Homo-oligomer: A and B are copies of this chain.
């Protein structure tokens, strides 16, 4: 393999541009191509980031021998097909989140990566955030004692992704806020707990804003294409029990008339000797004069903060990435169980 990883980006929407920007600032990567069926958008990408080649068909891109790895930023319903083809073409793959439409697809991706012996990493950027890394470090060094409960949440007051886009259609996105924001909340939480084995899920959800065409921006009405429905949930909550006996409360919303002054997105981890919360990273404990809150600052962290730089380094060094594909698969299974429980109104047991 060359000194620099030769990369290509499939999908040049907002996330694709973000991948291109990360790759450009990465001294160990070269970006050789992009692919997008929207050729105007692909051209804009090549001009702005001076990319040599562009393909309207990602299959053609995957045939190129001088590409070592691809980063995939396409709508969720294309995750599995594109990732599987890329892996089959022997490309290492960085895949945007959520991993797939469901755990069945996700398992297929993992299986292909294993068979083809390629690196597969889901782009869970919040794990790389310095606050998260400091938090995990403090947990790993044992400051919290025995951890028994956690909360994870992302509660937007008014932040549905563009209504009528693929984000709000079940057949293109796989689901609503539970997948879109929930994958971050849950992945970060289980990563902090360092435990991905969930045994029982009880969940509930609602669709109260997007379905009326509000909750996108400033509570105003969006232009909705009648042919492009909003058929997903915009609120979801769940309780999880883990194999170890720990419990987790989970809550996400794209929109809701609720307090938003404090933390909109975060995790709380409760232990016998201390507690920890994100964002920002704060440690709670008892002390001789009273309750102590330590806002973590400037702890040295083990990983680069850019997920794509980490992916590039993992491939070049032949190391397993921090976001293990097996963990991402388990996160997808739990999200599926949350959706199933919310739909049935019953608890769901996982193996």
**Which residues of chain B have C-beta atoms less than 8 A from A206's C-beta?**
148-149, 247
Contact of A290 among B149, B238, B294 (CB under 8 A): B294
Mark the stretch among A35-43, A73-81, A222-230, A269-277 that contacts chain B: A269-277
Closest residue of chain B to A50 (Cβ to Cβ) is B50
Q: Does A292 contact B (CB under 8 A)?
A: yes
Q: Does A144 contact B (CB under 8 A)?
A: yes
Contact of A256 among B212, B270, B290 (CB under 8 A): B270
B291→A283 contact, CB < 8 A: no
A177 to chain B, nearest CB (A): 13
Say whether, besides A241-B345, A256-B270, A258-B275, A289 and B285 are in contact (CB < 8 Å): no
Q: Does A343 contact B (CB under 8 A)?
A: no
Closest residue of chain B to A249 (Cβ to Cβ) is B237
A339 to chain B, nearest CB (A): 15
Assembly CA distance A247 to B291 (angstroms): 30
Q: For chain A residues 124-151, which have a beta carbon within 8 Å of chain B?
A: 138, 144, 146, 148-149
1/0 contact string of A273-298 vs chain B (CB within 8 Å): 11111000011111101111111111
Say whether, besides A217-B298, A247-B206, A258-B275, A292 and B293 are in contact (CB < 8 Å): yes
Q: Does A235 contact B (CB under 8 A)?
A: yes
A289→B294 contact, CB < 8 A: yes
Assembly CA distance A171 to B179 (angstroms): 45
Q: For chain A residues 307-351, which have a beta carbon within 8 Å of chain B?
A: 345-347
Assembly CA distance A209 to B285 (angstroms): 13
**Which residues of chain B have C-beta atoms less than 8 A from A202's C-beta?**
202, 239, 347
Say whether, besides A202-B202, A241-B204, A256-B270, A289 and B296 are in contact (CB < 8 Å): yes
Closest residue of chain B to A298 (Cβ to Cβ) is B218
Mark the stretch among A96-104, A187-195, A259-267 that contacts chain B: A259-267
B200→A345 contact, CB < 8 A: yes
Q: Does A157 contact B (CB under 8 A)?
A: yes
Q: Does A303 contact B (CB under 8 A)?
A: no
A285→B257 contact, CB < 8 A: yes
Assembly CA distance A128 to B251 (angstroms): 30
**Which residues of chain B have C-beta atoms less than 8 A from A15's C-beta?**
none
Contact of A296 among B257, B290, B347 (CB under 8 A): B290
B298→A275 contact, CB < 8 A: no
**Which residues of chain B have C-beta atoms less than 8 A from A260's C-beta?**
284, 291, 295
**Which residues of chain B have C-beta atoms less than 8 A from A249's C-beta?**
237, 249, 251
Q: Does A7 contact B (CB under 8 A)?
A: no
Assembly CA distance A239 to B259 (angstroms): 20
Lowest 8 CB-CB distances: which A-B pairs, in order?
A: A219-B286, A257-B275, A290-B297, A202-B202, A218-B298, A257-B284, A204-B247, A290-B296
